[in-house]
């Protein structure tokens, strides 16, 4: 077996070890790549195969001399491991997904040195085209598609009326939804252009030109796809196959045509100083396949620190609920567990409590949800959680409200019956109190590494009867009563 092949296999072994140690992140990748309801990331495994293929094609570049990378690589690995651990324990999935390729490349750097790491930089960075974080562009691309479709249809002369993301034609109505944004085409197009440039070892200016070209073609292809579907509905009285059955395959056919144009143009774009950059001198050969034992041991220890800490945080500390966490008994207020139409949603909460309080004409509803242990899909700041609750509510105002004793985030709501409400809420992680869900999740990630920490949200709601000023006064009186009586509305301390 040649040295180039052995080096390639050695790099692949390091990658495999990192994937095993940091398995929660690759598993989260796989979940996104096999989500065939949301098709945006289904090219993920193909991207991985392309990364491996490029590394194999460039395996001769891996035969250069091995270099000692510590302590720089060790410091970088320690910082990245800490960042990954904090993101993982805080259940910030996008954050630890973005950090993982950096850990992957830094591990290669630590084991093989700068020369080999530099050769592996693009194959590792190419993995970012498979990551789900691209979804944050979806809203902007959807809005751009609506504007572009409006221009195209009016230029063609199709009788059309736009209302938000709805497109009304005489024959029916189309909705330009998030799946029509063209995000999948754009990401795949960018990956194709980047890979094409890497294979040809293009200069940076040439790569930028190709990326600009593929962005224009991918967006245009999607706008044509959406416009053609609407035109087909107009011409066939909504009976076209593209309207009645499916237009997914049609979209990829249009995109394939756009990529054919891309390759025709790319082969004719002037390559700035390309000839000088195309020749890469062969590296100095180093017959060793692995560096010294010191580098291997240190790299493994630094790599294993984060996953080991995460494992200990999950298994060494039993999850417990705070025994002090109970609905407060407030002098002068009568409490009942009578259900109302307010039902907040906190998926996976280990305990939920609800009470209605009355004192004379004052009425306050109290709700709390507590998590003994948080993880992805079971956390305070979960994607499908809602302090507002089920049903239709409009948010009229929001901000920070302050009583004599405490500070809360507030929402001014209106339900589907036209009734207005004032809702106060606060997050707690152990003794830490905050009005920010993001800060609460971040604090949980940091504090739960070394000990078991429970986390909760506490919320109060009052009806604007006769007005919202009186509702806010009711809430303030209730909070002050709790703190005066128990000295603990989550310690009755202001947000910090």
CA 182 – CA 142 distance, rounded (Å):
8
pLDDT digits (tens, 9 = 90+) for 411-453: 999 888 888 999 999 999 988 889 999 999 999 988 888 777 8
The three-point CA angle 366-453-456 to 5° equals 15
Show Cβ contacts of residue 456 under 8 Å, excluding neighbours closer than 6 positions.
322, 325, 368, 369, 370, 371, 380, 427, 428, 490
pLDDT band at 178 (very low <50, low <70, confident <90, very high): confident
Q: Is the pLDDT of residue 284 over 70?
A: no
Show Cβ contacts of residue 218 under 8 Å, excluding neighbours closer than 6 positions.
182, 185, 186, 188, 189, 190, 255, 258
| pLDDT higher at 401 or 193 | 193
Strand partners, 173: 168
* Contact assessment for residue 46 and residue 187, using Cβ atoms and an 8 Å cutoff: no
**Distances, alpha carbon 201 to alpha carbons 8, 117, 175, 273, in Å:** 20, 17, 43, 11
* Contact assessment for residue 283 and residue 63, using Cβ atoms and an 8 Å cutoff: yes
Q: Which of 479, 446, 463, 475 is nearest to 83 (CA)?
A: 446
> Considering the chain, what percentage of its residues have pLDDT values greater than 70?
89
Cis amide linkage into residue 466, ω under 30° from 0: yes
**Distances, alpha carbon 395 to alpha carbons 390, 445, 456, in Å:** 14, 30, 23
**Predicted local distance difference test score (pLDDT) of residue 283:** 55
Q: Is the pLDDT of residue 79 over 50?
A: yes
**Predicted local distance difference test score (pLDDT) of residue 324:** 58
Helices 93-112 and 72-89: crossing angle, nearest 10°?
160
* Contact assessment for residue 110 and residue 18, using Cβ atoms and an 8 Å cutoff: no
DSSP state, residue 130: G
Q: Residues, the chain, total?
A: 496
**Predicted local distance difference test score (pLDDT) of residue 427:** 93
CA 115 – CA 483 distance, rounded (Å):
63
Helices 248-266 and 183-199: crossing angle, nearest 10°?
30
**Distances, alpha carbon 1 to alpha carbons 108, 161, 286, 291, in Å:** 21, 67, 15, 18
**Predicted local distance difference test score (pLDDT) of residue 494:** 45
User: Strands, E, within 72-203: which ranges?
Assistant: 161-163, 166-169, 172-175
pLDDT digits (tens, 9 = 90+) for 334-366: 888 876 788 899 999 988 888 899 888 888 999
CA 474 – CA 57 distance, rounded (Å):
71
To which residue do tokens 């971040």 refer?
A: 442
Q: What is the largest distance, in Å, between two alpha-carbon atoms of the chain?
A: 88
Q: Where are the domains of the chain?
A: 3-134+287-315, 136-276, 334-486
User: Terminal CA-to-CA distance of the chain, rounded, Å?
Assistant: 62
Give residue 360's region: left, alpha or beta (phi > 0; psi -120 to 50).
Answer: left
> Considering the chain, what percentage of its residues have pLDDT values greater than 90?
37
CA 255 – CA 243 distance, rounded (Å):
19
- At 221, give phi and psi (nearest 5°): -60, -40
In this structure, what token pair is assigned to residue 493?
């301390």
DSSP state, residue 420: E
Alpha helices, H only, 113-137: 114-125
To which residue do tokens 């950059």 refer?
A: 277
CA 480 – CA 406 distance, rounded (Å):
8
Q: Is the pLDDT of residue 221 over 80?
A: yes
* Contact assessment for residue 420 and residue 414, using Cβ atoms and an 8 Å cutoff: yes
* Contact assessment for residue 494 and residue 407, using Cβ atoms and an 8 Å cutoff: yes
When the pLDDT of each residue in the chain is averaged and rounded to a whole number, the result is: 85
Q: Which of 89, 21, 79 is nearest to 451 (CA)?
A: 89
Q: Is the pLDDT of residue 288 over 80?
A: no
In this structure, what token pair is assigned to residue 388?
């507002």
Single pTM value for the model: 0.82
pLDDT band at 216 (very low <50, low <70, confident <90, very high): very high
3 state SS of 135: helix
């Amino acid at each position: 077996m040649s040295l180039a092949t052995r080096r390639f296999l050695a790099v692949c072994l390091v990658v495999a070890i990192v994937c095993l140690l940091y398995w929660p992140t690759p598993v989260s990748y796989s979940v996104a790549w096999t989500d065939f309801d949301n098709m945006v990331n289904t090219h993920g495994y193909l991207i991985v195969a392309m990364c491996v293929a490029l590394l194999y094609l460039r395996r001769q570049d891996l035969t250069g001399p091995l270099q000692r990378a510590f302590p720089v690589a060790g410091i970088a690995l320690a910082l990245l491991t800490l960042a990954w651990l904090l993101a993982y324990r805080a259940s910030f999935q996008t954050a630890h997904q973005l950090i993982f390729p950096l850990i992957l490349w830094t591990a290669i750097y630590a084991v093989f040195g700068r020369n080999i790491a530099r050769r592996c930089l693009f194959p590792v960075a190419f993995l970012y085209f498979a990551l789900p974080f691209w979804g944050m562009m979806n809203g902007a691309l959807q809005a751009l598609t609506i504007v572009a479709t409006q221009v195209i249809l009016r230029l063609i002369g199709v009788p059309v009326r736009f209302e938000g993301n709805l497109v009304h034609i005489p024959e029916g109505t189309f909705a330009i939804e998030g799946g029509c944004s063209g995000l999948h085409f754009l990401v795949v197009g960018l990956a194709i252009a980047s890979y094409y440039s890497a294979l040809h070892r293009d200069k940076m200016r040439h790569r930028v030109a190709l990326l600009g070209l593929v962005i224009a073609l991918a967006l245009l292809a999607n706008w044509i796809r959406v416009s053609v579907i609407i035109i087909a509905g107009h011409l066939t009285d909504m009976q076209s196959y593209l309207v009645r059955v499916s237009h997914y395959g049609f979209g990829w056919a249009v995109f394939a045509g756009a990529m054919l144009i891309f390759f025709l143009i790319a082969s004719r774009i002037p390559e700035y100083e390309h000839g000088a950059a195309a020749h890469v001198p062969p590296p100095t050969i180093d017959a060793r396949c692995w560096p010294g034992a010191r580098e291997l041991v240190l790299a493994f220890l630094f790599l294993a620190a984060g996953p080991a800490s995460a494992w200990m945080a999950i298994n060494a500390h039993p999850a417990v609920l705070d025994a002090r966490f109970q609905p407060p008994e407030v002098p002068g207020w009568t409490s009942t567990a009578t259900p109302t139409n307010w039902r907040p949603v906190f998926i996976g909460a280990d305990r939920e409590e609800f009470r209605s309080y009355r004192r004379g004409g004052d009425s306050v509803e109290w709700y709390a949800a507590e998590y003994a242990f948080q993880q992805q899909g079971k956390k305070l700041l979960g994607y499908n959680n809602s302090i507002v609750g089920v049903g239709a509510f409009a948010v009229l105002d929001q901000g920070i409200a302050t009583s004599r004793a405490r500070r809360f985030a507030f929402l001014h709501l209106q339900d589907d019956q036209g009734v207005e409400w004032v809702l106060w809420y606060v997050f707690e992680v152990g003794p830490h109190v905050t009005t920010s869900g993001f800060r609460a999740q971040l604090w949980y990630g940091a504090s739960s590494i070394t000990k078991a920490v429970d986390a909760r949200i506490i919320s109060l709601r009052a009806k604007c009867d006769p007005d919202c000023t009186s509702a806010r006064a009711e809430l303030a009186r209730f909070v002050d009563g709790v703190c005066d009586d128990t000295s603990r509305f989550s310690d009755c301390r202001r947000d910090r």
